[in-house]
Structure formats: structure tokens, C-alpha cells
Amino acid sequence: MDTTVDGVAGWAIGMMERLGAPGAGLAIALENLFPPLPSEVILPLAGFTASKGDMSLLEALLWTTLGSVVGALALYGVGAALGRERTVAIAARLPLVKVEDIEKAEAWFARHGAKTVFFGRMIPIFRSLISVPAGVERMPLTTFVTFTSLGSLIWNSVFVLAGYQLGEKWSLVERYAGVMSKFVIVVVVLALVAFAVKRLAESRR
């Protein structure tokens, strides 16, 4: 592991050792608030921790998903309360946060609407930032929480389960995170298309 990943791993392990499964949830909530923190490191570590018996696999999945939703709600609240201009102005002063990434998330949300919240949970950087335009545009909160929960559960499950299966070799997950992200999105899109085709066929009977 490089120095940055090693540092994040040490910090996340410390959180989980002190707080258990809620520590994994807190680490992921903070990852949402500070996008440079990589969930591709924290999630497999939660799975590895579960494989050692320090928490159950179900606890790891539930707490990390709850953490994702809590972090996303915080950013949604910032966007809704401050509006676009003030949110961007604050982001411009934060280290490691790029205003152009927020602008890309805004453009994607404006073009594709609510479904970007679901798919955005499976794309690095956008996973956190997509909550900002959703808040600015006052996307219905129930829809936001539903799409965020579903997208987060899918993404988190893939990485937590990978860490659980790999055990001591959990760091391999971070190395192939980009490939895994594309694979997850393709599978989800195919599943949604298959569902839509099935419903359409049933409606014509």
C-alpha cells in the first residue's frame, strides 16, 4: 500500500477497534463528507474486520450503508440550506476538493435527474458530491434517501464482501476499484433493463 492508503487504513482500523461496527459507519459517513477519503479502502477493511469475527458481516453492511446515507444527507442539507453559490464558495476553500468536480456533478444531475443519485453512489468522487445538487434542487427527501440507500447498499456490499472473502489480502480490492466500479454499474444497468423488459412484456399480455 502507498503512504496515503496506509494512513487511511490505520485510521479506519482505529475507528473500528474503538467503536466496532458503528466505527465503520462513522468512517464511511466521514468519507462522504470528505471525498478524498477512499471508501475503496474503508469498505474492504470493514469486510476484513468482519472476517476476523470482530463484527458480523450483516453489521458491517448495515452500518456502512447507514454511514453512507448519513453523510449524503449532511451534504444534501448543505446544498439545500446554502444554495449553489455559497456551497461552491465554501468548497473552493477546502483542501483536496475541486470545484470542477462539483460542477460536473451538477451538470450530470441537471441532465439525468434523480437517477444520478442512485448511479452516482457507485462512482468515485461523484458518490459524495451528487448529494449537493440534489439538495440545491430540493429533490424530494424520500426519493433521495431511497435512491441513496439502494445505491450505497449495492456499492458497499461489493467492497465489504470482497474484503470479507480476501481476508488479509483485502488491499487487493483498492487496486482494482476502478474495474469493480465499472462492473457494478454494468450489472445494475443490465438488471434494470431486464426488469423493464419483463414488466413491459407482462403489461402486453
> If you write DSSP's letter for every residue of 58-76 in order, what string do you get?
HHHHHHHHHHHHHHHHHHH
Give the tens place of pLDDT for each residue, 156-180.
998 899 888 887 776 666 666 666 6
Task: Look at residue 124 in the predicted model and tell me its pLDDT.
Answer: 74
Task: Look at residue 175 in the predicted model and tell me its pLDDT.
Answer: 66
Give the tens place of pLDDT for each residue, 62-80.
999 999 999 999 999 999 9
User: So where are the chain's domains?
Assistant: 3-176
* Packing angle, helices 3-19 and 39-51, rounded to 10: 50
Residue 168 DSSP label:
G
Global pTM value: 0.81
141 or 200, greater pLDDT: 141
